[in-house]
Structure 1
Amino acid sequence: MAFTQIEDYGVIGNLETCPLIGNDGSIDWCCFPHIESSSVFAGILDDDGGGHFAIQPSGEFESAQEYVTRTNVLRTTFETDSGTMTLTDFMPVVDGVELGHTTSAIYRKVTCTEGTIELDATFEPRFDYDRVGTTVEQTSEGVIARGNGEQLYLWSPADFESSEGEEEHAEATETLRADETMWFVLQYNDREPIDAADCAALLRETIDYWQDWTHQCLDASGCPFEGPYHDDVIRSGLVLRLLMNPQTHAIAAAPTTSLPEEVGGVRNWDYRYAWIRDVSYTIQALNELGHEREARNGFDWCLTMCHKDDPGEIGHPLYGLHYPPEMVEEELDHFSGYRHSKPVRIGNAAGDQQQLDTYGELITAIYTATDYGEEIFAGEWEVIEEVIDHVSGVWTNKDKGIWEVRSEPKHVVHSKALCWAALDRGIKIAEDNDFDAPIDRWKGERDTIRETVLEEGFDEELGCFTQTFEGETVDAAALRLGSVGLLPFDDDRMQSTIDAVMDHLMTDEGLVMRYEGDDGLPGEEGAFVLCSYWLVECLALSGRVEEAHDVFESATEHLSPIGLFAEEIDPETGEHRGNFPQAFSHIGLINAVLYLNQAEPGETLDPIGRGATEITTDSKS
């Protein structure tokens, strides 16, 4: 079994977990029952022992994937010399799923649409990241696999034969003729009776669910995403929905772990957690897409974060999708890694880092939600006020920053700017709602932060805001000083920062790297998709519309064939790198289209829903 390119995977899900299916028909990543659970298939991380469940033609074939329109139902079409076969993969999602009533099952429908097809089905599960023994045995209706106190029940009319030994698995070879269909249903820790009619009905219900949920463009004033990238926005919204937990309302950064930022490198991280900044960015995107309920869920999750006993904990950037989190980071030495990129990690030590920007992301998210109509009640304000007041006392500290470097903490410019944003939005919430708060003191701290950032964070020689007060590093995160409103976009320093990012961090292909310089880790990484969309946002809001469109098109042309994005793009090969699909990347695309559609050449605009206090400035203030 050879490794499949990251961009050649599709993703399905039931709002609890997200299997990845290659364009060769193989499920190479699946965790049950949740995204953050241990894997039952991990072939994407070890092509020999990770486990997979493949359905594909027996001989040579060509294949292509697509989604059923406006759904997360995946269709793979195989062309062979003898005929054509369509594989339809989905997990049931029906009304009531928001209450947690899901079915942990993968449905796979195989149809011969032309000629004759001989297909092979290979079922090779490996429980708990292949750290425990797995047994596979035949039943009268299919196959049962057991291990780690769990079981997978594969129902199918196909004639499976199990193979015992060190690598237990089951195989079947079947022949289908034109218009013949065969179902394969994989149930986790369940064994409900199934027939083909039930399968077909669930497929129809699942398609209806997704098509009813997705963005409808019903606003009489016109769709804010109207234009050539409308379908890409729709797909990005569907990706975000897959990553939203229906019980806790947390949003997973990605459904995978350890897909490398560099093939053969060590920058391999577990992203099956909820980052505060992901939720912050998502609230605006969801509201503009018309998904008010999901945006409200994000708002509720932010309020939950504020209710932590110790506001200092909020400086930790990531949390478990189901409380409490498991932050212990460990390495799976027995896995070879994607394309032999080791180590394979589960858990994420960044959960213990101090990242001060998370305070700004949290309070900005809450303020943005109120801009879209959410209300903050007096009891909620008490805990929000405590968080804001905490910021006024810790913003002078060093931290790890948004990029979670594994070197010593520093005075990170982006972190200081987001602390400014926390106080700024906190002042506005208090004033808008007539809440009691030490507003005069907060205003003093807010102004001090701004003065410090302008004095210590801008490098005259480079002509831009830098990564830290200590160094001369160009960092794409400095673009967000304009996005959060610390400076208006027509300020000379913001314009020169935009130019510096384009000069120092943009590749020949028009993609944007995160930053220059050493970050304490060996190896390199790809261009960071979200950074390209940050640049689009800044150019659009600056009235530099033609440049914004150029950068947007350079980034968006790297979408996978079915409209998905990993975290990064290899600037030399164009291949996807990092975990996949990545919430950050898809949020960036949605918001970039939003700003592009509002931009006017030569006219500076304010970010939507980011309501910073209006600043009067000149080039020296």
Structure 2
Amino acid sequence: MPQRIEDYGIVGDLHTAALVGRDGSVDWLCLPNMDSPACFAALLGDESHGSWRLAPASGGPCTTRAYREGTLVLDTEWETPDGRVRVTDLMPPRESSPGMVRIVEGLSGRVPVVSDLRLRLDYGRSVPWVTRSRGAVGAVAGPHAVTLSTPVAVEVEEGPTGDVRSRFEVAAGDRVPFVLTHHDSWHPPPEPARAEDALASTLAFWRAWRAGTRYDGRWPDAVERSLVTLKALTFAPTGGIAAAATTSLPEELGGERNWDYRYCWLRDAAFTLLALLGTGHVTEARAWREWLLRAVAGSPADLQIMYGLDGRRRLPEGELGWLPGYEGSRPVRVGNGAADQLQLDVWGEVLLCLDLARSARLGPHGDTWRLEQGLMDFLEGHWDDLDNGLWEVRGPQRAFVHSRVMAWAGVDRAVRGVERFGLDGPVDAWRALRATIREDVLTHGYDARRGTFTQFYGSSGLDASLLLLPRVGFLPWDDPRVVGTVEAVQRELTQDGLLLRYRSDADDVDGLGGTEGTFLVCSFWLSGALEGIGRHDEAVALFERLLSLRNDLGLLSEEYDVAAGRQLGNFPQAFSHVGLVNTARVLSGGMLSDDWTLPSGEA
């Protein structure tokens, strides 16, 4: 049975990532890339679906664990009756073949240790053919091959499972390496990495990367760990950043709100770019912008809300019926059908992102501006279409207020491109369109009786995304309509002090049964909004409570179940960590009225 979501840590090589539990078990790893099929899928089932436990034979959770400062190298320690032992987990930033390195180190006494390796390819469905060759153990199934190298004796279980086991002891000062390497099955196995060299080079990589961070605000340790996590979710070949390392971790235990998040969402682009630029990581920001430009190339009418890590468009959704799901949460899904939804806010968010990149001088304007003009052509004819909204609801399409406001923000940034950067465009028509959208939202999206904007036109419900209206410059923070909306959202969507995205039973908005946890990024938005309306102490208190919900390694998932006191949803979640970084900057005085440069000044 898998552990609690917050019991996992992450290690990765900027192509893929592994989740390591407090018991020393790797329960999730996709090879060769983050969106490839998993070879360890116990996270969504049990050990029979693939796992690798390396820990004291006595078993049990670790005594302590921590990342080496500023890195993605994880040390896990156990205090046992026989002595102390440490397992160091890492994935060297990839130069050729992907691999995971695990080093067992004796710290005191003499401790019996076990390595139980159960490789199950294709998300736990395929038991590989296991062989021995050149002092290593190899496993092959279809196009995939995995090799395990270690100096200790290895036993391969006879029969259909082919499990690979080692039993050995470590005394103080002993260091025993294990190196797992993936390669295409039609090629000979590569030379395995030298574990100690891999450790040294991995530490050097992360420490050099850390040196590029520029942040002098409050909570620097929390911000740094969130930035390292965002870097860990980066797909280095393209610059894309996955929303999470996992699929189908549930938004409700035992429920069906289980989605695949191993892709790149356009909506995340502006927030992520803001976090990277605001903390000095210009190289990553530029790579993210370049990924964005490649992914959205083509007709602006064909813009998707998400793309593959390599920019591919087709992400067909399917179900893996052989996996029982995390704590029985079914179905387990791969791919994401929401990629085909109409979500009008993404046109605005792409325009926001490109305006921010232009302001930061991340690249030339020419081709980018032609793309922006195409996006504007689409918005002019479609800004008032009904859509599925920010939260990808699978119910009826609506006139979502957030979608209309983000369309406004996109038009506003196009106007800014002409006014501030001297670019060519029909600025008078765009100014008129901006005014039309604004008047439409103020007329149909605001409930004067209740003193708040609503989730969609004619709705009685609210939405946490309404907190973003002043952050894109639609209205100033001191406007009574903004203050009223912040207070209404806090009042009506709060659950034990944390924020829901929306009430799923309000107006039958999402067409799905069940419930979900409080949304962590929304709670970060609330903290920033409280700061915006002048409630600083309350904003800081909420932010620090959110920091307390991180696991012992500083990691956050998508949601938090306040009743059960557990993290929920895919893990670790980029949007939650982006929210942490950007809110820390807000509360440290780095950005307040408008995250994406100063408002245009429109009345």
Give the TM-score of the pair, scaled to structure 2: 0.96
CA contact (8 A) 2:295 2:311 kept: no
**Which of 85, 105, 109 does residue 111 from structure 1 map onto?**
105
Matches of residues 113-262 of structure 1 in structure 2 within 5 Å?
113-189=107-183, 191-194=189-192, 198-214=194-210, 216=212, 223-225=215-217, 227=218, 229-262=219-252
Offset, 1:280: 1.3
CA contact (8 A) 1:372 1:609 kept: no
Q: Secondary structure in 1 aligned to 2:577? A: helix
**Which of 301, 310, 314 does residue 312 from structure 1 map onto?**
301
1:468-512: CA deviation from partner (whole Å, max 9, x where unpaired): 10311111011111111111110001001100111011122x211
Provide the residue aligned with 2:46 in structure 1: 47
Q: Distance in 1 between matches of 2:465 and 2:27?
A: 34
Provide the residue aligned with 1:391 in structure 2: 379
Provide the residue aligned with 1:594 in structure 2: 585
Q: Secondary structure in 2 aligned to 1:592? A: helix
Residue 67 of structure 1 pairs with residue 67 of structure 2: yes
1:256-306: CA deviation from partner (whole Å, max 9, x where unpaired): 000001110000000011000112111111112111111111222233345
CA contact (8 A) 1:57 1:78 kept: yes
**Which of 288, 297, 318 does residue 298 from structure 1 map onto?**
288
Offset, 1:61: 4.2
Provide the residue aligned with 2:530 in structure 1: 539
Question: Mean alpha-carbon deviation: is it higher for 560-569 or for 200-209?
Answer: 200-209
Provide the residue aligned with 1:21 in structure 2: 20
CA contact (8 A) 1:302 1:366 kept: no
The amino acid across from 1:337 in the alignment is G
Q: Distance in 1 between matches of 2:436 and 2:248?
A: 41
* Change in 2 beyond 3 A, CA 1:326/1:121: farther
Provide the residue aligned with 1:37 in structure 2: 36
Provide the residue aligned with 1:619 in structure 2: none
Provide the residue aligned with 1:482 in structure 2: 470
**Which of 502, 508, 515 does residue 502 from structure 2 map onto?**
515
CA contact (8 A) 2:16 2:235 kept: no
Provide the residue aligned with 2:489 in structure 1: 501
The amino acid across from 1:311 in the alignment is P
Provide the residue aligned with 2:85 in structure 1: 85
Q: Secondary structure in 2 aligned to 1:235? A: helix
The amino acid across from 2:198 in the alignment is L
CA contact (8 A) 1:306 1:384 kept: no
The amino acid across from 1:456 in the alignment is H
Q: Distance in 1 between matches of 2:529 and 2:368?
A: 33
Residue 283 of structure 1 pairs with residue 273 of structure 2: yes
Q: Secondary structure in 2 aligned to 1:121? A: strand
Q: Distance in 2 between matches of 1:500 and 1:249?
A: 38
Provide the residue aligned with 1:358 in structure 2: 346
The amino acid across from 1:364 in the alignment is L
Give the TM-score of the pair, scaled to structure 1: 0.93
Question: Mean alpha-carbon deviation: is it higher for 581-590 or for 200-209?
Answer: 200-209
Q: Secondary structure in 2 aligned to 1:550? A: helix
Gaps of 5+ in 2: none
Q: Secondary structure in 1 aligned to 2:294? A: helix
The amino acid across from 1:611 in the alignment is L
Q: Distance in 2 between matches of 1:612 and 1:102?
A: 46
Residue 268 of structure 1 pairs with residue 236 of structure 2: no
* Change in 2 beyond 3 A, CA 1:25/1:416: same
CA contact (8 A) 2:471 2:595 kept: no
Gaps of 5+ in 1: 617-621
Offset, 1:408: 1.2
**Which of 512, 520, 524 does residue 529 from structure 1 map onto?**
520
Provide the residue aligned with 1:609 in structure 2: 596
CA contact (8 A) 1:224 1:594 kept: no
CA contact (8 A) 2:358 2:365 kept: no
Offset, 1:216: 4.9
The amino acid across from 1:253 in the alignment is A
Q: Distance in 2 between matches of 1:367 and 1:146?
A: 48
Offset, 1:462: 3.0
The amino acid across from 1:164 in the alignment is E
The amino acid across from 1:171 in the alignment is R
Q: Distance in 2 between matches of 1:306 and 1:526?
A: 32
1:28-76: CA deviation from partner (whole Å, max 9, x where unpaired): 0000110000111100001143100110111144413210110001111
Q: Secondary structure in 2 aligned to 1:269? A: coil
Q: Distance in 2 between matches of 1:12 and 1:473?
A: 40
The amino acid across from 2:160 in the alignment is E
The amino acid across from 1:537 in the alignment is G
Q: Distance in 1 between matches of 2:544 and 2:311?
A: 39
- Cα RMSD after superposing both structures: 1.6
* Change in 2 beyond 3 A, CA 1:584/1:217: closer
The amino acid across from 2:221 in the alignment is D
Residue 9 of structure 1 pairs with residue 8 of structure 2: yes
Offset, 1:393: 1.1
Q: Distance in 1 between matches of 2:580 and 2:69?
A: 19
1:580-604: CA deviation from partner (whole Å, max 9, x where unpaired): 00000000000000000007xxxx9
CA contact (8 A) 2:452 2:485 kept: yes
Offset, 1:145: 1.1
**Which of 384, 405, 420 does residue 393 from structure 2 map onto?**
405
Q: Secondary structure in 1 aligned to 2:235? A: coil
Offset, 1:541: 2.4
Residue 452 of structure 1 pairs with residue 443 of structure 2: no
Offset, 1:388: 1.6
Residue 321 of structure 1 pairs with residue 309 of structure 2: yes
Question: Mean alpha-carbon deviation: is it higher for 406-415 or for 463-472?
Answer: 463-472
Provide the residue aligned with 2:360 in structure 1: 372
Q: Secondary structure in 2 aligned to 1:486? A: coil
CA contact (8 A) 2:23 2:59 kept: no
CA contact (8 A) 1:75 1:88 kept: yes
The amino acid across from 2:316 in the alignment is V
1:169-227: CA deviation from partner (whole Å, max 9, x where unpaired): 111111111111100000001633458xx321221111011011015566xxxx442x3
Identity fraction in percent: 37
Question: Mean alpha-carbon deviation: is it higher for 60-69 or for 204-213?
Answer: 60-69
CA contact (8 A) 1:10 1:22 kept: yes
CA contact (8 A) 2:470 2:593 kept: no
CA contact (8 A) 2:213 2:281 kept: no
Q: Secondary structure in 2 aligned to 1:367? A: helix
Q: Distance in 2 between matches of 1:307 and 1:346?
A: 25
Provide the residue aligned with 1:426 in structure 2: 414
Q: Distance in 1 between matches of 2:388 and 2:159?
A: 48
Q: Distance in 1 between matches of 2:398 and 2:207?
A: 47
